[in-house]
Structure 1
Amino acid sequence: MRIRKAISSAVVVATAAVGTITAVGGPAQAAWVPPFRKCTSFDQNGFKGNVCVDRIGWGPQEFLGQGEIQSFPSKCAKFRVDVVDPDGTAVHSVDNIPCTTGTIGTARYLAELHVNGRAYARLAGFDSAGNTLLSVNSEIIVSPYDNH
């Protein structure tokens, strides 16, 4: 009888602990898998803001590229945000984003072998003729499992 009560009490305590983790941090996994972020600030040719890359996950890595725009020149027509592998190849892009302030882009890429656990984000701004007005890269972010 004592063993049954002890087991029952342990299950209640464990369930309450999991409920607390879930309530505080959303899903239990979110409490254990924090995102990591690298950003580069820029202030050039009328553009001001940041370009950032986030790495999410401990197993398969997901990389997110975003721009955070504070200001842009009137001749800006669109932005593009790329997630780029260390060799310079854009592995995923979000294009034709109208020039605006705030957070833009969120190019998502689930990294397998292609990026070898390393990537960065690139933010580009263009005029209406397609001429590049801005091209800024974030720092490279590295997977905890990368051997390079």
Structure 2
Amino acid sequence: MRIRKSISAVAVVATAAVGMVTAVSGPAQAAWEPPFRKCTSFDQNGFKGDVCVDRVGWGPQEFIGLGHIQQFPSNCAKFRVDVVDPDGTAVRSVNNIPCATGEVGIARYLAELHVNGRAYARLVGFDSAGNTLLSVNSEIIISPYDNH
């Protein structure tokens, strides 16, 4: 009888422990670190919106550049969104995005050593002849692993 009660008690404790592990690991995976975001708002030359860079990930960092457009002039033909290394080199771009309101372009870049744990986003607007109508940079975002 004592053995049966001991086995039952162990089973209850083990089941509770598994439930706690599941409860702890389940939401932690779903909650994952939210992206860190730096944005710059603009209202110039008939354009209104913002350009943002997100940083996501615990180990290797992924930088995501995107633009949000509220208004654009009638001569706007397309946008380009870049993820840019702080030295000014575009490391990833999404081009030929038709001018529209809302979210435009998402440039994703998995960081490697040459971005030095820092990046920013650039939103560029062009007319149909390819002339630059708008060029706006977000703030620089820094990886928590950057040692600069």
- TM-score using structure 2 length: 0.90
Partner Cα distance (1:62, 1:18) in 2:
23
1:17 Cα deviation from its structure 2 partner: 4.3
Q: How many pairs are equivalent? A: 141
Deviates more, 1:111-120 or 1:5-14: 5-14
Match of 1:7 in 2: 14
Task: Report the CA distance shift for 1:133/1:94 in structure 2 as closer, same or farther (over 3 A).
Answer: same
Partner Cα distance (1:108, 1:18) in 2:
28
Deviates more, 1:67-76 or 1:1-10: 1-10
Task: Report the CA distance shift for 1:30/1:106 in structure 2 as closer, same or farther (over 3 A).
Answer: farther
Q: Does 1:123 align with 2:120?
A: no
Partner Cα distance (2:126, 2:112) in 1:
31
Percentage of identical aligned residues: 78
Task: Report the CA distance shift for 1:34/1:107 in structure 2 as closer, same or farther (over 3 A).
Answer: same
Task: Report the CA distance shift for 1:70/1:34 in structure 2 as closer, same or farther (over 3 A).
Answer: same
1:127 Cα deviation from its structure 2 partner: 0.4
- TM-score using structure 1 length: 0.90
SS in 2 for 1:68: strand
Partner Cα distance (1:128, 1:29) in 2:
46
Q: Does 1:39 align with 2:46?
A: no
Partner Cα distance (1:101, 1:111) in 2:
29
Partner Cα distance (1:110, 1:47) in 2:
29
Match of 2:53 in 1: 53
1:18 Cα deviation from its structure 2 partner: 3.9
Matches of residues 1-148 of structure 1 in structure 2 within 5 Å? Answer: 1=7, 2-19=9-26, 21=27, 28-148=28-148
> RMSD value over aligned CA atoms?
1.3
The runs of 5 or more residues in structure 1 that have no matched partner are 22-27
Partner Cα distance (1:97, 1:72) in 2:
13
The runs of 5 or more residues in structure 2 that have no matched partner are 1-6
Match of 1:25 in 2: none
Q: Which has the larger radius of gyration?
A: 2
1:50 Cα deviation from its structure 2 partner: 0.1
1:8 Cα deviation from its structure 2 partner: 2.4
Give the partner amino acid of 1:133: L
